[in-house]
Amino acid sequence: MDELSRRQYLDAMGIQQWVRRDSPQIEPEMEISEVISSHVKPVPAPTASTELGWHDLEVAVEACRACELHQTRQQAVFGVGDPQANLLIIGEAPGADEDRQGEPFVGPAGQLLNAMLFAIGLRREQIFIANILKCRPPGNRDPHVNEMQCCAAFLQRQIELIQPKLILSVGRISAQSLLKCDTPVGRLRGQVHRYGPQQVPLIVTYHPAYLLRSPDQKGKSWQDLQLALTTLRGETD
């Protein structure tokens, strides 16, 4: 069977990754579904990170092979900044620069993000920056649903450990994944949402990569940053 067909069968069965058992016996008359069910072992998405401390979580992310992105990444990108920050910024996924350097938002979009932070009196070291995905999707394609599912427990544990006072979600993928919706960013921005059991305030804004392509939207992004600052002050006073 060719690689594409194999992938389609595995996707249809909800299997994200498979490993062969020691001595696969494939009979010529077997149906393909029988072959798969008798010779592959599903590797579940990480769920057991709920008790991991910061360091062990970092190690678990580096070692993760739950989805196929581990095959093409140079390294996993855990996140950067202060693990006790009040502000947590969540982007989409590492790009080529981030994959190479092991740090989120270091490419052109990262330069703009730095400038946006500087404009509101913040430096990267004072906040924490993470992504929905820890590994780069090849060719900078959108993350697949199963990849986001595989990574969700890692981000969830990061949020539990950081206990941010505010989450700034940048871009469509981040916002729709965190808020579990398919509403466009233009309708999600400009208001304070709540995230998770702790009801952490969450503000949505445009992704800096989008702002580089559509600089006329920077004004709205500036308004979102002002809302973020006011909300943060309200939460930390």
Interface residue list for ligand URA (CB under 6 A)? 91-95, 98, 104-105, 109, 131, 171, 209
Count other C-beta atoms under 10 Å from residue 219's C-beta.
9
- For residue 38, the minimal CB distance to ligand URA (Å) is 40
> Which of 184, 191, 226 has the alpha carbon at shortest distance from 207?
184
- For residue 197, the minimal CB distance to ligand URA (Å) is 25
Six-digit token string for 94? 């590492």
- For residue 106, the minimal CB distance to ligand URA (Å) is 7
- Considering the complex, state which of residue 135 and residue 166 has its C-beta at the smaller distance from ligand URA: 135
- For residue 34, the minimal CB distance to ligand URA (Å) is 41
- Considering the complex, state which of residue 45 and residue 80 has its C-beta at the smaller distance from ligand URA: 80
- Considering the complex, state which of residue 81 and residue 95 has its C-beta at the smaller distance from ligand URA: 95
Q: What's 215's DSSP letter?
A: G
- Considering the complex, state which of residue 44 and residue 108 has its C-beta at the smaller distance from ligand URA: 108
- Considering the complex, state which of residue 36 and residue 91 has its C-beta at the smaller distance from ligand URA: 91
**Residue written as token pair 């092991």:** 102
- Considering the complex, state which of residue 131 and residue 205 has its C-beta at the smaller distance from ligand URA: 131
CA distance 229 to 237: 12
- For residue 71, the minimal CB distance to ligand URA (Å) is 20
**Angle at which helices 145-162 and 54-63 cross, to 10°:** 160
Confirm if 225 and 204 have CB atoms less than 8 A apart.
Answer: no
Q: Which residue is nearest to ligand URA (CB)?
A: 91
Secondary structure class of 41 (helix, strand, coil): strand
CA dihedral for 213, 215, 218, 220, sign (positive or negative): negative
- Considering the complex, state which of residue 46 and residue 91 has its C-beta at the smaller distance from ligand URA: 91
- For residue 102, the minimal CB distance to ligand URA (Å) is 11
> Which of 224, 122, 216, 219 has the alpha carbon at shortest distance from 171?
224
> Which of 66, 62, 65, 90 has the alpha carbon at shortest distance from 76?
62
> Which of 87, 91, 74 has the alpha carbon at shortest distance from 185?
91
- For residue 171, the minimal CB distance to ligand URA (Å) is 6
